[in-house]
Amino acid sequence: MVLAIAKRIEETRFAEVKRLSRIWKLTRKDGTVKRFTNASGVLVAATSFDPFTTETFTPSEISANRESSRRTVGLDAETDSIASIISDSGWTIEDARIGLFERVRVDVWDIDWLRPQGGWLYHAVYYMVDVTFSGESISFRLATVAQLADAKVGRIYTIRCDATLGDSRCGKDLTGLSSGTKTITAVGDSPRLSFESDNTSQADDYWTDGVLTWLTGTNAITGVNKHQVKLSRQTDGVMELWTTTPYDIEVGDTFSVTPGCNKLFNQHCRIKFSNQANHRGFRFVAGFDKTIAGPDAVV
């Protein structure tokens, strides 16, 4: 009876003083783990059912717009408020600019800051989306797995293949087809988009639509070091990318690139890769002209 009364008193005190603190843990695309808390001091908290397994969370200037928060019960899509984080240790504008925080997992716990090793009161898993940066702040939206899975998915009835070159559905072994390690020899007027290299062993456009991976240099950042090739030229090894690199491309940087595939049956699947048996497109689908043609039209 005495223990029950003491427990009730403790619960009442906890409810009155609201000793709640929130802690965040995220793993960036480059593998770096960041741990933050909105408490005024460092918290060593247990984030599992094992009280002896603890993690250290450091204070960070975090604010959240609770008015846009929506909680649901069940499997419905749930979204948390837009959060703003002032740039400090571990949160930099540069990291956000190059995409290290986009679509990374965020574990959120509510704990008792007086007894952080006593376990958590609330735990949720989110993913950071819509990351933006302005001035000295970083803003993003926290989306649940259910919300991310709410997107429409499925195959598209189209003449082009919908598989990715080299994946399990494509079945093409890319061993020996990649360029190997190549070196930048010159940089053009757009130092984050185009360059020349010693990659001149294949015909024009052989690498177009392929995936280029930076191996050395300032752009060789784990998680954000892959770019799609827009065009390639044999004579001088010129390449242009669809999206800009985080930093300027420099002479001496190295990369590798896989061949591109335009997803058409004859041009690439059959002739370029001899992989027609695994083509995932619908090559006999009627084109637009044939679809709208009248009974007397010759197409």
In the chain, what are the domains?
15-148 (no CATH), 182-258 (2.40.30)
Residue 146: C-alpha distances to residues 64, 70, 111, 149 (Å): 21, 13, 24, 5
User: pLDDT of 183-198, one tens digit each?
Assistant: 999 998 899 999 999 9
Condensed to tens digits (0 to 9), the pLDDT of residues 117-155 reads 777 888 888 888 888 777 667 777 888 877 777 666 677
Residue 130: how many other CB atoms lie within 10 Å: 11
- The half-sphere exposure of 32 on its side-chain side, counting CA atoms within 13 A, is 12
pTM: 0.72
The pLDDT of residue 96 is 80
Please report the pLDDT score of residue 257 as a whole number.
Answer: 96
Q: Which amino acid is at 3?
A: L
With a cut of 70, which residues of the chain have pLDDT below it?
A: 1-18, 61-91, 135-136, 150-153, 297-299
Query: What is the predicted pLDDT for the residue at 191?
Result: 94
The amino acid occupying position 219 is: N
The per-residue pLDDT for 195 is 96
Comparing CA positions, the residue from 257, 261, 272 lying closest to residue 211 is: 257
| Residue 83 · residue 137 · CB < 8 Å | no
Output the pLDDT for position 69. Answer: 45
CA–CA gap between residue 39 and residue 16 (Å, rounded): 18
